[in-house]
Structure formats: structure tokens, C-alpha cells
Structure 1
Amino acid sequence: MPYSAIGAGALDPLTRDPRKAEAYRLDPYMREALDSLAPMPDPGVLDRHTFVVLKPDAVAGRRCELILGILRSEGWHPVAATTVRFDPLLVRELWRYQFNAASAQRIAVVDPLLSTGRSLLVLLEDRDRPAWLPASARLTAAKGAAEPSAARSTDLRTRIGRVNGLYNFMHTADEPADVARELQLFSYQAGWDWCAGPLFGTAAPGATDPRETVTRLLAEVEAEIPAHDLDVDASLGRLAAQQGPWGACARDWPEPGHVEEWLGVLRRAPLPPGSARWDVLTVLTSWIDCNEAGVRPIIATGTADAWRASAGEPTREATYA
């Protein structure tokens, strides 16, 4: 008797990673996603569309307009948008197959960071992709690694001024299987109506222009999260002038070697309100080690080269942007 209700080979059009296909056949979110997306009139919709999540650090750093502008210039056009709020469960389920490699320091910081405010979720149509390459895989390749040490000058994250391993501003899905699974996870908050037009062809007559929706939602989230310079030295200086446990941290432990003392305070004291919250987060994200040394994620980030090889395209050096 099989362990999966997803048939063998059902995920072949959505991923080029056999390990991912094997894991996702046992994944309840993937099963629900296939059911949710079954009404799509054209399976190729998942090849043409992907999404970007502009996280609270992008909002605080006022990078969202820059990111969306660069994406449009490279062929990814917003066609729908909504907002989502990360909580600890969503974080762990979204990155279920990568979180095993996260350091204890990263785990301690990621929840207060991502839960600080709403994130902007934007569905994108890729109008410049080659026929063999899904929109999601092209964007993953162009985006670049989350870690600054692996950055290239042409990476989107480099071009938008990524600060550190957690202040990398955006999340995208690796390939169509991840687009489906992660939209299912977001649907528990956002539903499916927000993207019904592009995905299912069921948009109501006179629906709002997606550019207007993005502009409105961006104004809302920027009103909720104060602008911040995301500068660690400036953050330490501002905190040192304050009273309370975080002011004491900045005065007594102003070097990265004391990050564990800061994390100890994080475990027992609430973050301060307003911009001071971002001062603390800026220090912590700048000092922590993001990954466990020598530990690999269960499923690694996909590559456009896997799609290139399966399409019989010649291998070449490319940025895919």
C-alpha cells in the first residue's frame, strides 16, 4: 500500500530535483496545493508565474520600490498582491526542508524579525523567460544566495543592497513545485481570491489594476513599520543612549563576540518598540552565524541549470536575469 496520495511522476512537470519530488509526495501542503490548483485552465500557468515576498526588513529599509522596479526591468511584472504575516509555524513550514541547517542563533532571531510586521506578497508574471525555464527558476538564479559571502555583483540581492544573511529583503520560490506548495501555505491566511485572476482566469470584471493594489499595500505596510537605516554602528550608538536592558547591552557588550549575551537578553526581555526594535534586530542579524557548520539542508536551493539540462540546452555561464 503506498504512503502517498500523490501519484508517481505527478510532480515531474514541477521540479527537476528527485529528492524534492520524493519528499513532496509525502508533504501534506503539496497534496493540498495540487487540489487547490486543479481548476487552473492551463498547467503552464505555474511556468509563467512566480512570486516575491518582500519581508519586514525590506519594508524597514525602504527597499520595496527598488526591488519591484528592478524586477519589472528584468521581465517579472506584478499581476496580483496581498499581505501575509509570518509566525513561528509559518516560518518553520515554509522552510521545513532547509531549517535543519539553521543555527540556533538564526532560529532565535528569525521569529522576532519576520513577525515584526506584515510582508508584501506579489505574484509575478515572467514575460522574458526562455520557453524551457520556469519563471520561478529564472528568478531564483537571478536573485543570488542569501549569504553575502556567496554574492555576485550581478545578483538581485546585491543590486538592492542586501545587508547580511537575514537582512536579504526578499523570499522567492525555487521552482514550480515550490510556487504551488508555498502559495498553499500562504492561502491559510490570504486565501486564493487575491490571485484568482492570473492563476484561474476568474478575476471579477473591473478588478483593480495590480499596480494600484501593490502601491496601496506598500503604503499600508510602510505606515506600520518605521523607516530604518539598518546600520549596525548607528544602531549601537542609538541603543547606548537608552535606558533598560538593550541600552545596557549596547554599552556593556558593543562587539560581535558578545552576541550570546545579547541573545540571552532576547530570551528574557521584550524588544523595544518603534525604531529601537530595528536597532536591536540590526545588531543581532549582523553578528549571528546563520547556519550550522557542516550541516546540509534536506533539500538544497534549486538551480536553473537543472532545467537547462533537462531541456537539452547547452551549458553556459549565465545570470538568467
Structure 2
Amino acid sequence: MVAARGLPDAAASPCTQHRQENRMAEWQLLTRAGAKARLYERETYFRDGLADAEEAWGAGLDQALWSSSMIMLKADGLAAGRLATVVDFVREHDFELVGVEEVCFTRTLWRELWRYQLTSATLDRLAVNDAVHPGRSALLLLLRSGAGHDLPGTVRLSGLKGSATLSAQAKGSLRDRLGQPNRVFSYVHVPDEPADLLRELGLLLDPDARRRALSALVDDRISAEGAARLAAALREQADTGRSLAVEPAARQVAAVIDEGRAAGAVSAELAGQLLEHLAALDAGRPVPWRSFYRLAADSGLSFDRWDLAILGAAHVDCDEAGFSKVLTNPDPEDWRRPAAIAR
């Protein structure tokens, strides 16, 4: 049960030592990060996902945790038409696609998903994501890792995914193959450890969808319903695939401003302010993104929301000095040796 996977107390009496050692061993199935265990044991998203997994998987919980994984094609990945590339990549790396679920993001939901990473984000970067995520869908691909690997499916896929920082991306990683344009629009998200998978299932899916996902993760193949969802998504993607490059977005934004000024839909003063901001961005000068975005919204002009966000994603300062992430990605080698929690 959930309570059985709690961390040991800071001070343990001899009579409880054996029970605490058992609890520590159980946490090794979920995470190799003590900080993550301490945070997640108090969080309802994780506890909800774990409770449903224990009920759905029963005695097969340990094996299911080892073989299960998931990849989320975010709103930017869907807009860029990258689904087929993702499907090909996971299959090439010995993952079986066993289920597909759709998630509709709200402002709160996307911030909760990355709660422990957003400590390093500037407010401008948050504003860029707020401009495109709410009301947009993401696609969850439920995966089973092939047999014989020495890492859990989540850990293995997290390593294959590649860094969100372009300069740190390994050649041949998923994000390298996808042609990720910048750090903000990274196209995909992957839970880093089994604990993250359970937390995200508890957060992203309602109870019915979560039970359906947990069932899919122990099936041998994708259901007819799941296959139909995937086929429909691939057909839809065939007609999409917009560019997330900066130059076309800047040209389109400038054209909307010029057309609005010529038609008298926006004052010459406001149009001039917006064009000055664009010129500053183009020259690499810092521009407070939230101020520019508010100016654009107040103008009443019909900007494409993606064009504005693409400009913001290319120019915002991604990290503020002095605010480290609460949680960082685990080292895969931690799963090949006795874990730090046990020590």
C-alpha cells in the first residue's frame, strides 16, 4: 500500500529498524533520489498514481514498473508535426507502443507537471508557455520496454531523449533527430524514473483514463481502441507541421502590424512601439517579453499565438542565476549500483 512505501523516520528505534529497511528497499523500485522520495511521499499526484498502480498490477507491480515508460508529445511537438518521428524512434529502441491518451492542458496543469523544474525559469519563459499551453492538447504514448535491459524503461528512455539544451544534445538522441529549435520548445517530455511515471499518471489523467493506461502498460500489444487513436493522430499530423523557426514568425508578426496600421486598426504610436520591440529582438537586445506580449494583446490585432510564442522562446533568458532546480535528472549509473537512499 502507499503507506508501506514511506521513507524511514529520522530517528528509528531498534524494533522498527527491520520495517524501515524494507521500506527503503521498496523505494529503490521507484527512485534513486532521496530528495524526490521525500517530496513525492507527501504529494497526492504521486500517491494517487501509486495506489492505482498497486491495485491494477498487484503482485506484478515490480516488473511492470521496470518495463513501463511513457513519452508525451507536447503542444509544440504536435504543432511541428513530429509524432511519426517519435513513434519510429521509440520502436527502433526496443519500446512497444501499447496505448495512447490525450491530455488537454490548463495553465495550472502544465505548471504542476514541471513544478520542481520551474524554480529555474524566468517569468518571461513562463509567459511564453502560458501563451501556448492552455487549451492545447498533448499526446501521451504509453510504452513497454523490451526484455533484458539493465535499466528501467523510464530511465532508459530519459537517456535516449537527450538534453533540452541544444549545445548538450548527443548526436542521434531523440531531440536531436526531432530538430528541436530552442530550449523552451523541446517537443517531448519523458518521466525520468518510475516514480515520475506514477506521479504524472496521477496528475495528467482522470481515474478512468489512468486505469486504462495502467492496463495498457501490462498488455502485450496495443488495443484496437488505442491503435485507432494512434492512426487518427498520425493522419491528422500528416496535414500539419508548421515551422517553429524565428524568421518566418518575425516576418508574420511584422506584416500583421503593418497591415493593421495601414487599415487604421491600430494607432501609429502603438504600431511603432511593437515594431521597435521587434527590431530590438532582431538585434539581440533584451526586451521584457511579458511587456511585449501585453502590448500585442492590447493592440487588438490578430496575431498568431504561435508566432508570438516562437519569438519569445527564441529570446527569453531561460534561467535566472541563483535558483537551482529542486530536482535534477538522475544519473542512469545510479540504477546500476546500490542506491544512495539505501546508504
Query: TM-score of the superposition, structure 1-length normalised?
Result: 0.83
**Structure 1 position 228, deviation (Å):** 1.5
User: Does residue 1:61 correspond to 2:80, yes or no?
Assistant: yes
The alpha carbon displacement at 1:255 in A equals 3.7
Q: Residue 266 in 1 paired to residue 303 in 2?
A: no
Distance of 2:220 and 2:210 partners within structure 1 = 11
Task: Point out the more displaced range, 166-175 or 296-305.
Answer: 296-305
SS in 2 for 1:50: strand
The alpha-carbon distance between structure 1 residues 273 and 155, as it changes in their structure 2 partners (threshold 3 A), is farther
Residue equivalent to 1:251: 275
Over residues 199-249 of structure 1, what are the superposed CA-to-partner deviations in whole Å (9 max), with x where a residue is unaligned? 46699xx941633321213445777xx541111011111221113579766
* Cα distance, 1:146–1:274 mapped onto 2, change above 3 Å: farther
Select the residue among 123, 130, 135 that pairs with 1:111: 130
| Residue pair 1:16, 1:307 contacting (<8 A) in 2 also | yes
Alpha-carbon contact 1:109-1:285 (below 8 Å) kept: yes
1:154 is aligned to 2:178: no
1:134 pairs with one of 136, 141, 152: 152
The residue number in structure 2 matching 1:316 is none
**How many Å separate the matches in 2 of 1:248 and 1:133?**
56
CA shift at 1:308, angstroms?
1.9
Partner of 1:303: 331
Query: 3-state SS of the aligned residue for 2:200?
Result: helix
**Distance in 2 separating the partners of 1:189 and 1:98:** 26
SS in 2 for 1:120: strand
Paired position in structure 2 for 1:33 = 49
Asked whether the 8 Å contact 2:124–2:288 carries over to 1, the reply is: no
Letter of the 1:230 counterpart: L
Deviation digits for residues 276-317 of structure 1 (CA, Å, limit 9, x no counterpart): 222111111111112212321111112211112238xxxxxx
CA contact (8 A) 1:6 1:31 kept: no
Identical pairs, percent: 28
Residue ranges of structure 1 left out of the alignment (5+ in a row)? 312-321
In the alignment, structure 1 residue 232 sits paired with structure 2 residue 246: yes
Between the aligned partners of 1:308 and 1:270, the Cα distance in structure 2 is 51
Report how far residue 17 of structure 1 moved. Answer: 0.8
- Specify the code of the residue in structure 1 equivalent to 2:228: E
CA offsets 1:131-182 (integer angstroms, 9 cap, x no match): x310000011111111213222132111110110111100010000000011
The structure-2 alpha-carbon separation of the partners of 1:275 and 1:242, relative to structure 1 and needing over 3 Å to count, comes to: closer
Task: Return 5+ residue gaps in structure 2 as ranges.
Answer: 8-23, 261-265
Displacement of 1:71: 1.4
State yes or no: 1:50 paired with 2:30: no
CA distance in structure 2 between the partners assigned to 1:300 and 1:192 by the alignment:
26
CA distance in 2, matches of 1:166, 1:122: 21
1:193–1:259 Cα change, 3 Å:
farther
Shift of 1:80: 0.3
Q: Distance in 2 between matches of 1:211 and 1:251?
A: 47
Q: Does 1:143 align with 2:171?
A: no
SS state at 2:98 partner: strand
Opposite residue 294 of structure 1, the aligned amino acid is G
- Matched letter for residue 123 of structure 1: L
Which SS does the other structure have where 1:285 is aligned?
helix
Q: Which amino acid aligns with 1:34?
A: L
Q: How does 1:75-86 map to 2 (within 5 A)?
A: 75-86=94-105
Q: Which has the higher helix share?
A: 2
Aligned equivalents of 1:5, 1:268: Cα separation in 2: 53
CA contact (8 A) 2:145 2:153 kept: yes
Residues 56, 116 of structure 1: 8 Å contact kept: no
User: Which amino acid in 2 is paired with 1:19?
Assistant: A
SS in 2 for 1:229: coil
Following the alignment from structure 2 to structure 1, what is the Cα–Cα distance between the partners of residues 136 and 238? 9
Conservation of the 8 A alpha-carbon contact between 1:74 and 1:128: no
In the alignment, the residues of structure 1 paired with residue 94 and residue 320 of structure 2 have an alpha-carbon distance, to the nearest angstrom, of 36
Q: The residue matched to 1:97 in structure 2 has which SS?
A: coil
8 Å contact kept, 1:12–1:21: no
Q: What is the CA deviation profile of residues 243-280 of structure 1, one whole-angstrom value per residue up to 9, with x for unaligned ones?
A: 35797666322343455344213236549999822211
Shift of 1:189: 7.9
Preserved contact between residue 249 and residue 262 of structure 1 (Cα < 8 Å)? no
Q: Distance in 1 between matches of 2:181 and 2:208?
A: 29
CA contact (8 A) 2:101 2:140 kept: yes
**Aligned counterpart, 2:141:** 122
Secondary structure of the residue aligned to 1:173 is coil
Q: CA contact under 8 A between 1:134 and 1:176: conserved in structure 2?
A: yes
Supply the distance in 2 between the matched residues of 1:155 and 1:18 (Cα, whole angstroms): 28
How many residue pairs align between the two structures? 303
User: How far apart are the structure 2 equivalents of 1:147 and 1:192?
Assistant: 31
Aligned residue number for residue 7 of structure 1: 6
* Maintained 8 Å contact 2:36/2:327: yes
Partner of 1:317 in structure 2? none
Question: 276, 284, 289: which one pairs with 2:304?
Answer: 276
